[in-house]
Amino acid sequence: MAKTIFERTSIGRKGYTLPVNDVDVKLDSCIPAKYKRSSAVKLPEVSELDVMRHFFELSHMNHCIEKGFYPLGSCTMKYNPKINETLVRNAGFNNLHPMQDEDTVQGALEILYDLQESLAEISGFSKVTLQPVAGAHGEFTGLKVIKAYHEAKGNFHKTKIILPDSAHGTNPASVVLAGFEVVEIKSNKDGMVDIADLKAHVDENTAGFMLTNPNTLGLFEKQVEEIAEIIHAVDGLFYMDGANFNAILGIVKPGQIGFDVMHYNLHKTFATPHGGGGPGSGPIGVREDLAKYLPAPLIGFKDGKYFLDYSHAETSFGKVHSFFGNFAINLRAYIYIKMLGAKGLRRVAENAVINANYIQKKLEKYYKIPFKHIYCMHEFVASGEWQKDKYGIKTIDIAKRILDKGYHAPTIYFPLIVPEAIMIEPTETESKETLDEFIQAMIDIAHECETNPELLHNAPMTTPVRRVDDTLAVRQLNVKFEW
Ligand SMILES: *Cc1c(COP(=O)(O)O)cnc(C)c1O
């Protein structure tokens, strides 16, 4: 590896020029003695080019979608068209201020309004708010709407939200944050909601049911209408975690098959790159009678003018974010939807599903696939159980070896109900050639488990940082470069 920026330091070299100080302030007298440095801070002294190379090199140490395939299940790491990035950097968007007068931001409001309407149309809901800024934030917002609905009816005893055991970790966390209790039910042997177990847990205290569809096993929950009937019979509301919407875009409208509330992950389905914690956008859609509880303002349109609509502020449960959500992320989603159109969005889902099924089929002889009796949707869950039982190789070893082959690892050990889970989501933006190369790499790894298990235990061999002791790294976090 080339020398680090710290090792390249040369006393007195610098990559900046500052204007001559023409302010007459005695800094010395402003800073209390106890905050003053006794010696100069030790910073690298390098040229501008050195700094550039430093950051360029760092960026190459990480994996990213521009560098290679990123089959991280549940995350929908699709290609983000570069035109999104170009357009969001347009000064006309970039220099807007949220406090500006409505008359001066009609274009921006039109985009937000159009996006609200498009998302409502795509999902079959009546109203959409763009305020939440993450999927989990959308869950929280949706649950607060559910709470407001019950409280408006005086039904304070409705305190329980039911979830299947395949749920994403954010679901139970949001339930608790929104002030409800979690009731977990089982999945059946086909990986779907166990209706008998659901019936056994539904009662007059049920406030709602949260279901991811397709679920985290990558399977479409076919019993949606039956579940909706069971939940609605006790005046509960049916929430859809729509993070996996990529699989059914343009094919299924959740608002028309029994769901009452749903969140979208714009930073998954609608092409914003994500990872590392944001930024994101997690709008929610609701059925007509729930719209009055949404955070205010919504974006309205009347007499040829777009405006911030506070008309439901009295019944709204409150705000969840400053102003109108993450404008730049919403803008990317808007561009993406406009570029693809209705037909294009449907093709996204079709190709995402075909790609996942293609990999699943090609790998079924090499890795255990627990739920292969039906087609998967946009992702599937394999398991490293065969490799573990036969060769003592764990899923973490397989995931580390995948890094050596030039790929990001799939999601592993999730969902929790599949032992040694390996969750693969190719997305629609990958070519057949890329999928074939990845499949071959996975097959090669399956052979290596048999012929060279040591290699698996020691992987990764080629990454800038080799295998770290995860537990120790968490307990004794040390990210400081010593020089
Ligand atoms: C990603 C995801 C979430 C949470 O979304 P964030 O934007 O990460 O908060 C919730 N549910 C499912 C199924 C997901 O895949």
Task: Note whether 238 and 211 are within 8 A (CB).
Answer: yes
Q: Give yes or no: residues 399 and 437 share one domain.
A: yes
Query: How large a percentage of the chain has pLDDT more than 70?
Result: 99
| The total number of residues written for the chain in this structure | 483
172 Cα to the center of ligand 1, angstroms? 12
Q: Which atom of ligand 1 lies closest to the CA of 134?
A: 7
pLDDT of 278 > 70? The answer is no
**Average pLDDT over every residue of 278-290:** 94
Q: Is the CB of 135 under 6 A from ligand 1?
A: yes
Q: Is 217 touching ligand 1 by the criterion CB < 6 Å?
A: no
> What pTM value is reported for the model?
0.91
CA 142, CA 175: separation in Å to the nearest integer? 10
Domain of residue 265 covers 83-339
pLDDT tens track for 369-413: 999 878 999 999 999 999 999 999 999 999 999 999 999 999 999
Q: Are residues 330 and 367 in the same domain?
A: no
Q: Is the pLDDT of residue 290 over 90?
A: yes
With H, G, I as helix, E, B as strand and everything else as coil, classify residue 235. coil
Which of 137, 49, 115 shows the shortest CA–CA distance to 319?
Answer: 137
| Ligand 1 pocket test, candidate residues 170, 213, 424, 427, most atoms within 8 A of CB | 170
434 and 398 in a common domain: yes
Ligand 1 centroid to residue 448 C-alpha, Å: 33
Do residues 261 and 236 touch, judged by C-beta distance below 8 A?
Answer: no
pLDDT in tens, 2-38: 678 888 899 999 988 889 888 887 777 888 888 888 8
Instruction: Name the residue with higher pLDDT: 473 or 391.
Output: 391
Whether residue 367 is found in the same domain as residue 463: yes
Q: Which of 139, 265, 427 to mutate to test the pocket of ligand 1 (most atoms within 8 A of CB)?
A: 265
174 lines ligand 1 (CB under 6 A): no
Top mean-pLDDT range of 127-131, 368-372, 415-419: 127-131
How many structural domains compose the chain?
Answer: 3
CATH number at residue 429: 3.90.1150.10
Instruction: Write the residue with the smallest CA distance to atom 4 of ligand 1.
Output: 135
Give the end of a domain, one of 286, 314, 339: 339
The last residue of a domain, from among 339, 361, 383: 339
Judgement on whether residues 354 and 329 belong to the same structural domain of the protein: no
Q: Are residues 334 and 357 in the same domain?
A: no
pLDDT score recorded for residue 1: 55
395 in contact with ligand 1, CB cutoff 6 A: no
